[in-house]
């Protein structure tokens, strides 16, 4: 090896489309990757990140073709190698991890066998026993609990975060010189993503691998990378250390990226203030448990306790945020709030009326007043119906106005959400996610509801579209006095728009507080952990080294006795194992379910003393 | 444990299916025209013999009573006796009503058990042939959608599905037995008699297998785990054999469970053409003679095979893909 520690040297890599000689998906990409270095690459959706990741190992499929350039590895140009020679390097010396951990392995074969299969494929001559031992060793190194058991489990038995660990094992098991990590934290919850990032940092020291860390999020790349490259429409426009990039960006595109990043903490940053208005909806101690047949049993049933006693009041004209990790019961709560399902215990009152006491007719009438907006703008709209007709549908169902008036109201709603009225007779084919979400909003809007429930409505959209839709929401709130419930895992979004925030954990609201109180002074240890995991460039009041949780929430089938957060809580005490805490009122007016809330001071000093 | 639960549940479900099927067959055979007692004793017998026979067989009881009695016999493994076939083997249709051979009628169970191995051999061999024909065509088509392999598979599938089996059987018999003289085609004296009919049956079922294979392989080749497999260091043959075909075999297994009906239907016709002494020929003769116990027995036997094979298919599928649960 030469003195220069460069392991991968990319020169003038250009990728186009086979049917369009002029197209440039990647345009003249050049960079060096040194051993032991983590090189970050950030770019928005469609900038060519994944294409680059795959082009480096000659893994492009039609219609993408590499037009020119070279990828030098150990003196050879990878792009010029035969498939046979390439197969000695790819997967063995250059590892690859993608953004879709759940889909990356054959669903019908245990994960361990697939890692062994890969190991045997790239290192012929290795015995199966040695390969199994090696796989188990690396599974333990990425801190997968009980690796001997999980080795024999199937991909569907893993959570997203655990599966991503498996894929990291799959890539590192051969001790590669280079690791290409393509947006590996993107599908994960913030807490789990933060764990993965921490893991990558640890592993780099253990394995001395050069890592190309591709991410769509600048704050994420900033936390791990030694240097960051900025990719815009297939070109690298800037390359700098993370600090230099954040403090002194050179290129206009980098500057605009930075300016568009939502801020969470810092001077002059505060969330909307809650106002004391009339209560619109009261949720009292609602429960919802699903019974699922136990696999491999004759009559056994698993009780999945999705929502376990949620109490919430929603005031007229405010924005409520509901946050939490996946599997915490957010979506079930949404379905209860929208009365798509009724709670098994507890009650929901809307505008003073108990929803469970209403007859079918009154309920339909009242339903006009609370509308649900879904996450996926593609599957929530019928594809064979003209847009105007989609929006008119609720009016027809509820028979709210004369047929002759419908068209006028549909057009008015379209204008209000910023849809071109000329789209009235067109189908939804070819519309962007943002446009589609506007149709969804217009469809809810024609009924003139009072409460809109937004289940991850904005998470499918990019930053620009998100902020445009916010303006729409804001304007509608001002003109119509809407109340919004934002169900989201995006803490930055919640910080920006919500007056009050409920933090959910294992089917309960563990803390419910005003925006500023929660973000600046969270009372529940889980809230602190959640905040510590949020990727942001702001000065973080909760360092992840101190607050970040290991592991994942327990299964909602087997909820531990006592405080359900105890198994992950850094402050857990003897009482937490015995007594299930009840909601306690906080000085600021919020509430939290924690034994330590009353004794605020010792809890803090304990955390600080860690 | 999973296996035991699965088997108990599915066998119980299967018994319910058999119960319904057997009642349907029993009831239907009682409403079609033709008096069994008259059929048994023959056209020349005096009326009082017919009445006596009917009394003896319990044909005057209500149909539900008859059915329960039939079920009781069934539980003891007794499928009844043929109306016409004597134990000796000759048909009794022409014998006089008081000929003693009329009372020595063959047991349906024996008749079926005697023929079922031949029919299973025929069906099994035809499935083997069909897989040999379909795998190369279907897999190649699935791996190369839109290319000549795909068109070849589509073309051969279309040709195969358009060939009527009775025609193909006659043409092949003409070619291989009469012109070339390499394969026998009439009757059964040894394994080689199974080859031609099995091939004819295989041509009938292979278009469905080709189509299912090519569609599911093409679909699986687009899955993420196939796309990243080369990046993980797996080689192409391994990816196709160990992952693509493995995953594509589940729709194929399910197809097989359904195709069984078509296969058994084909067996009836093909056995007749090749004069193959299997269940099919027994059934057709029984239908022509209105030999109700045989028709009943064969129908229940076939539905039992159907239920059993579908349990086996589901079990195999859930071993391949543990996400499946039946």
**Has residue A326 got a pLDDT over 90?**
no
Alpha helices in chain B (DSSP H): 2-31, 36-41, 47-57, 63-75, 108-143, 148-162, 165-172, 192-220, 224-232, 236-238, 246-273, 279-289, 292-320
Assess B5–A contact: CB distance below 8 Å, yes or no: yes
Cα–Cα distance for residue pair A336/A340, rounded to 1 Å: 6
Assess A295–B contact: CB distance below 8 Å, yes or no: yes
Assess A61–B contact: CB distance below 8 Å, yes or no: yes
Assess B146–A contact: CB distance below 8 Å, yes or no: no
What distances in angstroms separate CA B93 from CA A84, A254, A514, B278, one per listed residue? 74, 97, 95, 21
Nearest alpha-carbon partner for A559 in A282, A341, A309, A261: A309
**Has residue A604 got a pLDDT over 50?**
no
pLDDT band at A501; cut points 50, 70, 90: very high
Helix (H) or strand (E) holding A392: helix A387-398
B-chain CB neighbours of A297 within 8 Å are 1, 5
Residue A86, Cα to own-chain centre: how many angstroms?
Answer: 35
8 Å CB contact of B228 and A98: yes
Assess B222–A contact: CB distance below 8 Å, yes or no: no
Of A54, A118, A298, nearest to B234 by CB-CB distance is A118
Cα–Cα distance for residue pair A510/A528, rounded to 1 Å: 12
Give me the domains of chain A, ranges plus CATH numbers: 35-58+88-260 (3.40.50.300), 279-294+302-369+449-609 (3.40.50.300), 375-448 (no CATH)
Cα–Cα distance for residue pair A200/A140, rounded to 1 Å: 14
Instruction: Please tell me the predicted confidence (pLDDT) of residue A598.
Output: 66
Three-state DSSP at A74 gives coil
pLDDT band at A106; cut points 50, 70, 90: very high
B-chain CB neighbours of A121 within 8 Å are 233-235, 238
pLDDT, one tens digit per residue, over A573-603 is 888 888 888 888 888 778 888 888 766 544 4
Nearest alpha-carbon partner for A513 in A585, A588, A590: A590
Cα–Cα distance for residue pair A325/A503, rounded to 1 Å: 9
Q: Rounded to 5 degrees, what angle do the CA atoms A56, A62, A66 make?
A: 40
Q: Rounded to 5 degrees, what angle do the CA atoms A351, A356, A359 make?
A: 90
Helix (H) or strand (E) holding B81: strand B81-86
Query: CB–CB of B213/B254 below 8 Å?
Result: no
| Domain locations in chain B as residue ranges | 111-280
pLDDT, one tens digit per residue, over A385-419 is 999 999 999 998 888 788 888 999 999 999 988 88
DSSP A541: S
8 Å CB contact of B5 and A298: yes
8 Å CB contact of B230 and A59: yes
Instruction: Please tell me the predicted confidence (pLDDT) of residue B97.
Output: 55
Of A87, A104, A156, nearest to B233 by CB-CB distance is A87
Which residue of chain A comes nearest to B247, CA vs CA? Answer: A108
Query: CB–CB of A135/A120 below 8 Å?
Result: no
Mean of per-residue pLDDT scores for chain A: 86
Three-state DSSP at A582 gives coil
**Has residue A350 got a pLDDT over 70?**
yes
- Provide φ and ψ at B273, rounded to 5°: -60, -45
Query: CB–CB of A500/A320 below 8 Å?
Result: yes
Cα–Cα distance for residue pair B258/A25, rounded to 1 Å: 47
**Has residue A2 got a pLDDT over 50?**
no
Query: CB–CB of A451/A483 below 8 Å?
Result: yes
8 Å CB contact of B233 and A108: no
pLDDT, one tens digit per residue, over A44-62 is 877 888 899 989 988 887 7
pLDDT, one tens digit per residue, over A197-238 is 888 888 888 878 899 999 888 888 888 899 999 999 889 999
Nearest alpha-carbon partner for A176 in A245, A108, A96, A255: A96
- Provide φ and ψ at A348, rounded to 5°: -125, 125
Radius of gyration from C-alpha coordinates of chain A? 26
From chain A residues 87-116, the ones with a CB under 8 A of any chain B CB are 87, 90-92, 96, 98, 100, 103-109
β-bridge partners, A72: A9, A77
pLDDT, one tens digit per residue, over A471-494 is 888 888 888 888 999 998 888 888
Nearest alpha-carbon partner for A312 in A338, A289, A281, A334: A281
Assess A125–B contact: CB distance below 8 Å, yes or no: no
Query: CB–CB of B257/B209 below 8 Å?
Result: no
Query: CB–CB of A552/A192 below 8 Å?
Result: yes
Residue A454, Cα to own-chain centre: how many angstroms?
Answer: 16
Instruction: Please tell me the predicted confidence (pLDDT) of residue A19.
Output: 83
Question: Higher pLDDT residue, A460 or B115?
Answer: B115
Nearest alpha-carbon partner for B269 in B201, B208, B206: B201
- Provide φ and ψ at A98, rounded to 5°: -100, -175
Instruction: Please tell me the predicted confidence (pLDDT) of residue B244.
Output: 94
Instruction: Please tell me the predicted confidence (pLDDT) of residue A3.
Output: 47
Q: Enter the ipTM.
A: 0.79
Instruction: Please tell me the predicted confidence (pLDDT) of residue A555.
Output: 82
Query: CB–CB of A213/A38 below 8 Å?
Result: yes
Of A100, A121, A174, nearest to B234 by CB-CB distance is A121
8 Å CB contact of B231 and A297: no
Distance of residue B144 Cα from the nearest chain A Cα, in angstroms: 13
Distance of residue B124 Cα from the nearest chain A Cα, in angstroms: 27
8 Å CB contact of B233 and A174: yes
C-beta atoms surrounding A532 within 10 Å: 21
DSSP β-ladder status, A319-323 and A500-505: parallel
Cα–Cα distance for residue pair A83/A91, rounded to 1 Å: 13
Assess A375–B contact: CB distance below 8 Å, yes or no: no
C-beta atoms surrounding A568 within 10 Å: 18
Cα–Cα distance for residue pair A53/A70, rounded to 1 Å: 14
Q: Is B47 left (phi over 0), alpha (psi -120 to 50) or beta?
A: alpha
Which residues are CB-neighbours of B223 under 8 A, at least 6 positions away? A103, B247
Which residue of chain A comes nearest to B10, CA vs CA? Answer: A298
A-chain CB neighbours of B245 within 8 Å are none
Query: CB–CB of A426/A386 below 8 Å?
Result: yes
Assess A77–B contact: CB distance below 8 Å, yes or no: no
What distances in angstroms separate CA A556 from CA A322, A507, B81, one per listed residue? 18, 8, 60
B-chain CB neighbours of A169 within 8 Å are none
Which residues are CB-neighbours of A464 under 8 A, at least 6 positions away? A260
DSSP A263: P
Of B9, B232, B325, nearest to A295 by CB-CB distance is B325
User: What kind of architecture, by CATH, is found in domain B111-280?
Assistant: Orthogonal Bundle (1.10)
pLDDT, one tens digit per residue, over A63-99 is 888 888 899 998 888 888 888 888 888 888 999 998 8
Largest CA distance in chain A: 82
Cα–Cα distance for residue pair B78/A346, rounded to 1 Å: 61
Instruction: Please tell me the predicted confidence (pLDDT) of residue A84.
Output: 83
> Which residues of chain B are modeled with pLDDT < 50?
92-94
Distance of residue A105 Cα from the nearest chain B Cα, in angstroms: 5
pLDDT, one tens digit per residue, over B144-186 is 988 999 999 999 999 999 999 889 999 999 999 989 988 888 8
Distance of residue A121 Cα from the nearest chain B Cα, in angstroms: 6
Residue/partner pairs of B311-319 with CB below 8 Å, 24 or more apart:
B311/B7, B311/B10, B311/B11, B311/B14, B313/B253, B313/B254, B313/B256, B313/B257, B314/B10, B314/B257, B315/B3, B315/B6, B315/B7, B315/B10, B316/B253, B317/B250, B317/B253, B317/B254, B318/B6
Distance of residue B319 Cα from the nearest chain A Cα, in angstroms: 9
Q: Is A36 left (phi over 0), alpha (psi -120 to 50) or beta?
A: left
Which residues are CB-neighbours of B164 under 8 A, at least 6 positions away? none
Assess B143–A contact: CB distance below 8 Å, yes or no: no
B-chain CB neighbours of A61 within 8 Å are 227
8 Å CB contact of B232 and A118: yes
pLDDT band at A609; cut points 50, 70, 90: very low
B-chain CB neighbours of A52 within 8 Å are none
């Amino acid at each position: 090896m030469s003195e220069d520690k460069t392991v991968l040297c990319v020169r003038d890599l250009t990728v186009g489309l086979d049917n369009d000689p002029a197209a440039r998906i990647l345009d003249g990409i050049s960079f060096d990757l040194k051993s032991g270095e983590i090189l970050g690459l950030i770019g928005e959706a469609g900038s060519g990140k994944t294409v680059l990741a795959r082009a480096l190992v000659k893994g492009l499929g039609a219609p993408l073709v590499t037009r020119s350039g070279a990828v030098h590895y150990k003196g050879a140009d990878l792009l010029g190698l035969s498939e046979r020679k390439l197969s000695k390097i790819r997967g063995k010396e250059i590892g690859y991890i993608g953004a879709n951990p759940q889909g990356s392995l054959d669903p019908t074969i245990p994960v361990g066998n697939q890692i062994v299969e890969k190991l045997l494929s790239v290192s012929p001559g290795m015995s199966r026993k040695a390969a199994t031992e090696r796989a188990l060793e690396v599974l333990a190194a990425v801190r997968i609990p009980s690796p001997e058991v999980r080795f024999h489990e199937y991909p569907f038995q893993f959570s997203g975060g655990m599966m991503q660990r498996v894929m990291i094992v799959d890539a590192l098991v051969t001790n590669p010189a280079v690791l290409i990590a393509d947006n590996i934290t993107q599908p994960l919850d913030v807490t789990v993503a933060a764990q993965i990032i921490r893991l990558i940092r640890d592993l780099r020291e253990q394995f001395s691998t050069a890592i190309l860390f591709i991410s769509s999020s600048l704050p994420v790349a900033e936390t791990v990378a030694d240097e960051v490259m900025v990719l815009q429409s297939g070109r690298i426009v800037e390359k700098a250390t993370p600090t230099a990039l954040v403090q002194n960006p050179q290129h206009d595109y980098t500057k605009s990226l930075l300016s568009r990043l939502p801020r969470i903490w810092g001077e002059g940053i505060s969330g909307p203030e809650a106002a004391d208005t009339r209560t619109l909806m009261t949720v009292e101690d609602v429960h919802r448990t699903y019974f699922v047949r136990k696999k491999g049993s004759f009559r056994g049933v698993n009780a999945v306790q999705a929502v376990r006693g949620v109490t919430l009041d929603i005031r007229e004209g405010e924005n409520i945020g509901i946050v939490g990790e996946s599997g915490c019961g957010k979506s079930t709560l949404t379905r209860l709030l929208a009365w798509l399902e009724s709670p098994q215990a507890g009650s929901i009152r809307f505008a003073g009326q108990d929803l469970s006491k209403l007859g079918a007719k009154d309920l339909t009438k009242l339903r006009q007043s609370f509308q649900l907006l879904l996450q996926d703008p593609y599957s929530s709209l019928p594809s064979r119906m003209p847009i105007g007709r989609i929006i008119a549908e609720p009016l027809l169902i509820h028979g709210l106005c004369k047929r002759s008036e419908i068209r006028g109201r549909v057009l008015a709603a379209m204008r209000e959400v910023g849809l071109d009225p000329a789209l009235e007779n067109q189908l939804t084919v070819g519309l962007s996610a943002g446009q589609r979400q506007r149709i969804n909003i217009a469809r809810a809007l024609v009924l003139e509801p009072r409460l809109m429930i937004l289940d991850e409505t904005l998470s499918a959209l990019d930053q620009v579209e998100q902020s445009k839709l916010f303006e729409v929401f804001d304007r509608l709130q001002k003109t119509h006095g809407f109340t919004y419930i934002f169900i989201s895992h995006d803490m930055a979004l919640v910080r920006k728009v919500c007056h009050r925030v409920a933090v959910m954990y294992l089917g309960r609201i563990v803390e419910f507080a005003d925006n500023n109180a929660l973000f600046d002074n969270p009372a529940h240890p889980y809230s602190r952990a959640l905040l510590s995991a949020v990727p942001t460039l702001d000065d973080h009041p909760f360092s992840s080294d101190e607050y970040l949780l290991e592991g994942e929430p327990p299964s909602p089938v087997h909820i531990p006795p006592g405080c359900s957060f105890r198994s992950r809580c850094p402050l857990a005490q003897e009482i937490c194992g015995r007594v299930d805490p009840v909601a306690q009122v906080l000085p600021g007016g919020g509430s939290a379910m924690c034994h330590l809330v009353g004794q605020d001071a010792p809890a803090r000093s304990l955390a600080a003393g860690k | 444990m999973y296996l035991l639960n699965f088997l108990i549940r599915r066998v119980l479900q299967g018994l319910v299916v058999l119960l319904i099927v057997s009642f349907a067959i029993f009831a239907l055979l009682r409403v079609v025209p033709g008096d069994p007692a008259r059929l048994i004793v023959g056209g020349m017998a005096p009326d009082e013999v017919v009445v006596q026979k009917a009394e003896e067989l319990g044909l005057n009881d209500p149909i539900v009573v008859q059915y329960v009695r039939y079920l009781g016999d069934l539980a003891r493994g007794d499928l009844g006796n043929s109306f016409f076939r004597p134990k000796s083997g000759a048909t009794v249709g022409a014998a006089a009503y008081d000929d003693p051979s009329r009372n020595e009628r063959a047991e349906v169970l024996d008749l079926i058990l005697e023929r079922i191995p031949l029919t299973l051999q025929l069906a099994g061999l035809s499935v083997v042939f069909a897989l040999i024909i379909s795998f190369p065509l279907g897999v190649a088509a699935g791996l190369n959608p839109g290319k000549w392999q795909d068109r070849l598979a589509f073309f051969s599938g279309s040709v195969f599905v358009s060939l009527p089996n009775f025609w193909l059987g006659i043409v092949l018999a003409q070619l291989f037995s009469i012109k070339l003289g390499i394969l026998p085609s009439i009757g059964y004296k040894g394994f080689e008699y199974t080859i031609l009919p099995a091939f004819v049956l295989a041509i009938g079922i292979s278009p469905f297998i080709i189509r299912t294979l090519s569609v599911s392989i093409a679909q699986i080749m687009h899955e993420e785990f196939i796309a990243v497999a080369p990046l993980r260091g797996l080689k192409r043959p391994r990816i196709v054999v160990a992952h693509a075909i493995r995953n594509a075999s589940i729709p194929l297994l399910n197809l097989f469970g359904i195709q069984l009906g078509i296969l058994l239907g084909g067996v009836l016709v093909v056995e007749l053409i090749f004069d193959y002494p299997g269940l099919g020929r027994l059934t057709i003769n029984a239908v022509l003679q209105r030999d109700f116990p045989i028709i009943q027995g064969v129908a229940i036997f076939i539905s039992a095979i159907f239920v059993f094979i579908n349990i086996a298919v589901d079990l195999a599928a859930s071993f391949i893909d543990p996400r499946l649960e039946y």
